[in-house]
Structure 1
Amino acid sequence: MPPRAGAFSANFTPEILDRFRELCKQQSKSYSKVLERLAELYLETDGAVLDSPSVPTTPKQSKSASESIDPVLLQELQKKLEQLESDYINADDHLEALIEDITERLEVLEK
């Protein structure tokens, strides 16, 4: 008997397939329809949907911030934050100096 038109066959890792089917079941979705939608997204983006730097995780799978962020990236972000804080302080100091200068000039003009 030949397979029906549109039939799909794939060799998933049993654990992945079981987890996928279970999640679809929990969400009351047909896993074949979910696979079809994933295929549509893949086609619509010319495969770029898989180029995303990260794949969203469900709350059950998410890690704590300390586990999920690369230490090097965290250090770089910390340095950037410190630089922004320094720039903010410098800008605030400069603004205060400008206000003082303008106030003094205004007082001279008013005399």
Structure 2
Amino acid sequence: MTFIVHRIRLHDGVEPERFESWVREVDYATCPELPSVLAFAVQRLAPAGGGGPAEYYEVVEVTGRADFERDTRSAPFRRLVADFEKMASVVAEWSGERVGPGYRSRGAAGPETRAGTARG
């Protein structure tokens, strides 16, 4: 499986609450319309020194880079991009493969699987 990681910076004047609400209500809810997306989550970064614009990173687990590229041409994805670009910019991107199965404690909360939330 392939992972794509984006570092995101909000535009000046965009309140973090607005962006986070959109992520929860629109971004996550659109994931089932993108067949290549296996899991998706956005994380808030704590600002260093308590200042500066709000930053986030998102981790997208996809079936493959080519599959995801195909999904980026779909109407649902284009709608996401149009909304996103009004609020934020991707300032860095990385992609790669997971090294082994990783580790997760039995007590760790898993990703939500309801409609409108990240899928695991």
Q: TM over 0.5, yes or no?
A: no
* TM tier, smaller: under 0.3
TM-score using structure 2 length: 0.22
The answer to which structure, 1 or 2, has the higher relative contact order (CA under 8 A, 6+ apart) is: 2
Question: Which structure has the greater CA radius of gyration?
Answer: 1
* Structure having the larger proportion of residues in strand: 2
* Structure having the larger proportion of residues in helix: 1
